[in-house]
Amino acid sequence: MVGSLMYLITSRPDLVFVVCMCARYQASPTKKHLEALKRVFWYLRGTINWGLWYPKNTTMALTAYVDANHASCLDTRRSTSGSAQFLRDKQVSWSLKKQKSSVISTAEADYIAMSGCCAQILWMRSQLTDYGFVFNKIPLYCDNGSAIALCCNNVQHSRSKHIDIRHHFIREQVEKGVVELYFVMTDYQLADIFTKALPREWFEFLLPRLAMKSMSPETLKRLQEGEEE
């Protein structure tokens, strides 16, 4: 059951968090894990027509959102990183990953998440360069001001010395002007949907902002007619 859902999340970012959480307990599932999977299939039954919508003739602009849920894993107390990358208003990449080490603050959790998101941005930037698109000062939105300040501080003070050196390369990208960091209010943090379970109202608020639409035949016809106009 989980294996089939893992294929589905390649086109349904709204399922990433719950499917990845269920996958963590795939080796020794319990009754509550089976009940959670059943709820996923009930949700799919009601949203079977939902999917990503990529309109044509839109400008190319690479942006990213990143967030972390501090100590979210109840077994290991490790944090969860989530990120989403957009070309203008089209979501083209997303990820959820449990961090490999424990951290003692939300700033560190977001800092590590931003480093992972920056690596994905650099890879996408390299791929787009082959097609003639050159991006600099790529906006990266985070809802943690302390993590942003840590990235922009080129002095490695005592508060960051204990963080693995492989996460510090984001500072170099900020200094080079490849990435620009911006603060975004938590209410408009699109990557929240990848790091935690959200209330229904908030979840439904984020879905259309992740470039997701209902793909019923009537909607597809209306969208097609709108583009032709």
d(CA 163, CA 110): 12
In terms of Cα–Cα distance, which of 164, 148, 173 is closest to 66?
Answer: 148
- 147 and 110 in contact (C-beta within 8 Å)? yes
What is the percent of the chain with per-residue pLDDT over 90, rounded to a whole number? 47
| pLDDT on residue 123 | 94
- 85 and 92 in contact (C-beta within 8 Å)? yes
Residue 16 pLDDT greater than 90, yes or no: yes
Domain coordinates in residue numbering, the chain: 1-48, 62-190
Mean pLDDT computed over 179-199: 93
Q: Which residues pair with 183 in a beta bridge?
A: 142
Tokens of 73: 């894993």
Average pLDDT of the chain to the nearest whole number: 87
d(CA 16, CA 20): 6
Residue 229 pLDDT greater than 60, yes or no: no
Least confident among 81-90, 103-112, 147-156: 147-156
Q: Which CATH class is domain 62-190?
A: alpha beta
Highest mean pLDDT among 29-38, 62-71, 166-175: 62-71
Residue 158 pLDDT greater than 60, yes or no: no
Tokens of 157: 């003070």
